[in-house]
Structure 1
Amino acid sequence: MAHRKLAHRVVVAVALSLCLPSWAAADPTPSPSEPPPPTTGFNTDWSKNGASAGAWQQGQEQNPRGNAGQASNPGTTTGAPAKPTHEFKVSTACDPTPSGPDEGTGYGDGNCDFAQRGCSYENPPSDRYMQRYWSRPIGSTGPWTLVGNNCNPSQAPEGAPAPPPVPTVGQINAAFAALPFAKPTVAIQPVGNVTLVNLPTYYEATWPGSGLKPGDISKKVQLLSWSIEFRIDPATYRYDFGDGEFSKVTKDLGGPYPDGKIRHTYTKAAASVPVKVDAAMTGAFRVNGGPWQDLDTVAELENEPVTTLQVRTAKARLYNNG
């Protein structure tokens, strides 16, 4: 008889557990009338659940049970979301001329390197620039509170405005590559573009007056909401001596006899040897007059001018002065 009573209790317990709502089985602690505890800031890991965390902080409907249409705030009408309690603003994490929430905070420091690296650590990596999200109570004239950073606008807090349109890293790199660069030519000694077999020949890269060259700053380029300037830094050079031989990649411009460090000795005579220097440009950029940020790209120049060189053989002759 004792065994039958025990079995009866087990069956009743199983039946009761099967009749419980799904949310109660998953989360038995809070009751249906209790809202979740308020958060102190948006969940910065928005890739997981930032939208729901943001909805609750704003005072929007947030149902901890996962049942659509039920209000989680006590005293509200079922199905009617609570009114928003906070407003949001968005700023780019490297805006050097901030207005509004960034002003006076030290966050708008123009440090685009930080803003880009932060997004490059995303999974998958992003070439966007990090956005900062700010919040304060609706109607307040007090300071804005930084509530999180984000690299993906689709994962921004609910109710936040769209971020300002800013270019990606790829678009900035492409704008740098499209600049009107100057193209270097090669000055050669001995002068006259004629040299001799087994005689050291000296080379020097020279830049023409037109086009951007190392040390120059470009005109402003407008990319979406950013006004960008580019600084052209010293290039790298690789000399093509025209006989199948090349120099190592170097930052040395070369120079004339006797101190020039770019030298080559021809071993065969040739009527026409095409000599040129291949240059690769790098540099930095700044946004709206802010600090310079190094570019993570190199612009390979193409179709550099060719200098034609003759390589002759020297002959020794004896003359009778008598």
Structure 2
Amino acid sequence: MSHLRLKATLVGLALCCLHAPPGWADVGGSYGDDGATVRMNEEETAALPTTAQVAGSTVRYVYDFRVHCDQSAAGAVENNCRAAIMACDGTNGPGPLTDVLRREVSAAGVAGPWRLIGTTCYPPASIRPQVTLTMIRNAFHLTPWAKPVVDTQPAGNVTLVNLKTYYRIVWSTDGFQPGEVNVIDPTTMLGHRVEIRPRAQSYSYNFGDGQSSGPTMSEGGVYPTGDVVHRYPKAGQYVVSVTTTWSADFRVDGGAWAPIPDSVVVPGPDTTVTVKAARGVLVNE
């Protein structure tokens, strides 16, 4: 496991050149000197002590904050690793998950070893800004979605009473369809390349006569294999639409894809389906 080192100054204490501590805790917690899991809240992070009495002498505490990163398959440290981003969902702090390290400096200026004393989702503002899950969620909600337009068979959105009518989704050319990648403006992501890849989580079809189908993963189809079908019991004009529940994956700076823990429901445009009554007519030939 590798970590991106980020320098920070806490309450005016200058940090010197650092050496990696002997071990790092897994994402989701860290270990203090007593072996207990420590996840610091905002108040605890802001109130870290600067001095302590050790063996009758006053020692100074110096802190370092490092983004808690995982390691890619190639062995390179990801600058904005997904594990650190995913660990802080906004409700427990803006993130990313950051390791809090501390060392003691004696009155004579002798510095002790670095110790990992905890993690926090409230990193000091003085460290280099990082992409957060909140930023990614906001970008996800601003995605210009492609519109799922309803198309029916028989063709022309005209059908007959009690005739099995097949429905399918035809995506608009504007916006992002499932599987397409939206590259977010780097100026809104602190200069990083953030990509969002939408996924259709489900579709709900409204047939306009009080009946519906879904949620389903099916985009429908045509005769004879289409699996979204409906029969209208009487003639008339019916306003049909599809509502899509979207989810998405994201990645930062070409790293591994990870799911965004969120979804958004987007109604599609209306399509009018005309249902006609068919009747038999005797003709004299």
TM-score relative to the length of structure 1:
0.63
Q: Larger radius of gyration, structure 1 or 2?
A: 1
User: Greater RCO between the two (CA within 8 Å, min separation 6)?
Assistant: 2
User: 1-side partners of 2:265 and 2:46: how far apart?
Assistant: 44
1:316 matched to which residue of 2?
Answer: 280
User: 1-side partners of 2:230 and 2:154: how far apart?
Assistant: 12
User: 2-side partners of 1:49 and 1:277: how far apart?
Assistant: 48
Which protein is richer in strand relative to its size? 2
- Secondary structure of the residue aligned to 1:175 is helix
Q: Which piece of structure 1 moves more, 252-261 or 218-227? A: 218-227
| Aligned residue runs from structure 1 range 234-245, under 5 A | 234-245=200-211
- Secondary structure of the residue aligned to 2:226 is coil
2:17 matched to which residue of 1?
Answer: none
In the TM superposition, residue 166 of structure 1 has moved relative to its aligned partner by 3.3
The question of 1:132 aligning with 2:108 is answered no
In the TM superposition, residue 253 of structure 1 has moved relative to its aligned partner by 0.4
Distance 1:128 1:216, change over 3 A: same
| Aligned residue runs from structure 1 range 1-322, under 5 A | 44=38, 46=40, 55=49, 61-63=51-53, 72-73=56-57, 86=62, 88-94=63-69, 110-112=81-83, 116-117=86-87, 119=88, 125-126=92-93, 128-134=95-101, 146-153=116-123, 162-221=126-185, 222-224=188-190, 226-270=192-236, 272-302=237-267, 304-321=268-285
Distance 1:288 1:135, change over 3 A: farther
Distance 1:220 1:83, change over 3 A: same
User: 1-side partners of 2:64 and 2:35: how far apart?
Assistant: 13
- Secondary structure of the residue aligned to 1:174 is helix
Extract structure 1 runs of 4+ deviating beyond 6 A.
48-52, 104-109, 136-140
Q: Where does the alignment leave 5 or more consecutive residues of structure 2 unmatched?
A: 1-31
User: 2-side partners of 1:108 and 1:134: how far apart?
Assistant: 19
User: 2-side partners of 1:49 and 1:194: how far apart?
Assistant: 66
Query: What are the Cα deviations for residues 237-272 of structure 1, in whole angstroms up to 9, with x where unaligned?
Result: 1111111211121110000111100000000100x2
Q: Where does the alignment leave 5 or more consecutive residues of structure 1 unmatched?
A: 1-38, 65-70, 74-80, 98-103, 155-160
Q: Is the 8 A contact 1:274 1:307 kept in 2?
A: yes
Distance 1:49 1:283, change over 3 A: closer
Distance 1:115 1:175, change over 3 A: closer
TM-score relative to the length of structure 2:
0.70
User: 2-side partners of 1:218 and 1:105: how far apart?
Assistant: 25
- Secondary structure of the residue aligned to 1:173 is helix
Which protein is richer in helix relative to its size? 1
Q: CA RMSD in A?
A: 3.8
